[in-house]
Amino acid sequence: MKTTKGILEEIYQRLYKSFGPQHWWPGKTPFEVIIGAILTQNTAWVNVEKAINNLRKKSLLTPKALKRVLPKTLATLIRPTGYYNQKTKKVKNFIRFLFDNYQGSLKKMFLEDFLVLRSKLLNVNGIGPETADSILLYAGNSPIFVVDAYTRRILSRHNLISYQASYSEIQNYFMDNLENEIKLFNEYHALLVCLGKEICKPKPNCRICPLRGIEKEFV
């Protein structure tokens, strides 16, 4: 029988062997990563890429530029991501937070203790746990594990967690049983996303899943 630590390490090794390094999160700058994390809510990444490219073409991928841009203009540029009026407000809320608390400086923001910063980010309207943790891990290089719908789906299908488990319960499942390493958390989450997108879909292709039968090693 394997321990929780052992089963999580086995999952990682199988996924890494199957998919290789993911080089995630795609973004040229930490600020671009943050905007991507906000825009990717409820949409596919390909749509976020279109929006990011629109913003880049208009030289709007800086805090000062997004602070100045009119909401109507921003909404038009991020339209490919869907819910664009709501996401415009979310982006603007983050920019306001950045300037109100850190003079618009990501460097100053990430000097904050990451757990304190996480608490503050969660108070920004439009930023939930997954978005906050994506910002902290991928833009701020902070050791925190990101949980998403793919993670919940994969682990619950292998009876390693309850599908009704809370975000923090799933997050602690990883953080309490893995080495506290930024690179590991980064790659692990990205590999789970890859599995969820390519194989462990709503209608899964279990026959070719690299995790097939892994739950039997846990009992």
Q: What is the CATH class of 30-139?
A: mainly alpha
Q: Are 188 and 12 in contact (CB under 8 A)?
A: yes
Q: Residue 96 corresponds to which amino acid?
A: R
Q: Are 144 and 162 in contact (CB under 8 A)?
A: no
Report the 10 Å Cβ neighbour count for 99.
14
Pseudo-torsion of CA 51, 57, 58, 63, nearest 10°?
70
List the structure tokens of 197.
């997108």
Nearest CA to 192 out of 141, 143, 158, 142 is that of: 158
Q: What pLDDT is attached to residue 26?
A: 85
Looking at the chain, which residues constitute the CATH 1.10.1670.10 domain(s)? 4-23+145-218
Q: What is the pTM of this model?
A: 0.95
Q: What pLDDT is attached to residue 131?
A: 98
Q: What pLDDT is attached to residue 218?
A: 64
Answer whether residue 219 shows pLDDT above 80.
no
Long-range (24+ apart) CB contacts under 8 A made by 165-168 are: 167/129, 167/130, 168/129
Proportion of the chain above pLDDT 70, given as a percent: 99
pLDDT band at 216 (very low <50, low <70, confident <90, very high): confident
Tell me the pLDDT tens digit for each residue of 87-103: 999 999 999 999 999 99
Answer whether residue 82 shows pLDDT above 60.
yes
Answer whether residue 193 shows pLDDT above 70.
yes
What fold does the segment set 4-23+145-218 form as a domain?
Endonuclease Iii, domain 2 (1.10.1670)
Cα 188 to Cα 54: distance, rounded to the nearest angstrom? 30
Q: Which residue has the tokens 């998919």?
A: 19
Q: Are 169 and 128 in contact (CB under 8 A)?
A: no
pLDDT band at 27 (very low <50, low <70, confident <90, very high): confident
Looking at the chain, which residues constitute the CATH 1.10.340.30 domain(s)? 30-139
pLDDT band at 217 (very low <50, low <70, confident <90, very high): confident
List the structure tokens of 53.
């490219």
